[in-house]
Amino acid sequence: MSSHQISVTINGEEHTREVEARLLLVHFIREEVGLTGTHIGCDTTSCGACTVLLNGVPAKSCTVFAVAADGAEVTTVEGLGNGGLHPVQQGFTEKHGLQCGFCTPGMMLTSKALLEENPDPSEEEIRWGISGNLCRCTGYVNIVKAVQRASELMKENSDG
- Write out the residues near other proteins by the rule CB under 8 A: 20, 22-23, 27, 30-31, 35-44, 46-47, 49, 76-78, 80-81, 85, 89, 92-94, 96, 98-105, 108, 123, 126-128, 130-144
Smallest distance, ligand FES to C-beta of residue 20, A: 19
Interface residues with ligand FES (CB under 6 A)?
40-42, 45-50, 60, 62, 98-104, 135-138
The partner in contact with residue 60, picked from other proteins, ligand FES, none with C-beta cut-offs of 5 to 8 angstroms by kind, is ligand FES
Q: Which is nearer to other proteins, 72 or 88 (CB)?
A: 88
Sheet with 3-10, strands from edge to edge, namely 13-20, 3-10, 73-75, 51-54, 57-60
The partner in contact with residue 8, picked from other proteins, ligand FES, none with C-beta cut-offs of 5 to 8 angstroms by kind, is none
Name 141's bridge partners: none
CA distances from 6 to 11, 18, 51, 59, 121 (A): 16, 6, 20, 18, 37
Q: Which is nearer to ligand FES, 83 or 100 (CB)?
A: 100
Helix (H, G, I), strand (E, B) or coil at 35: coil
Q: Which is nearer to other proteins, 71 or 118 (CB)?
A: 118
CA distances from 73 to 92, 93, 137 (A): 25, 27, 31
Q: Phi/psi class of residue 74: alpha, beta or left (left: φ > 0; alpha: ψ in -120 to 50)?
A: beta
Q: How far apart are CA 17 and CA 13, in angstroms?
A: 13
Helix (H, G, I), strand (E, B) or coil at 150: helix
Smallest distance, ligand FES to C-beta of residue 47, A: 3
Smallest distance, ligand FES to C-beta of residue 110, A: 11
Q: Which is nearer to ligand FES, 41 or 81 (CB)?
A: 41
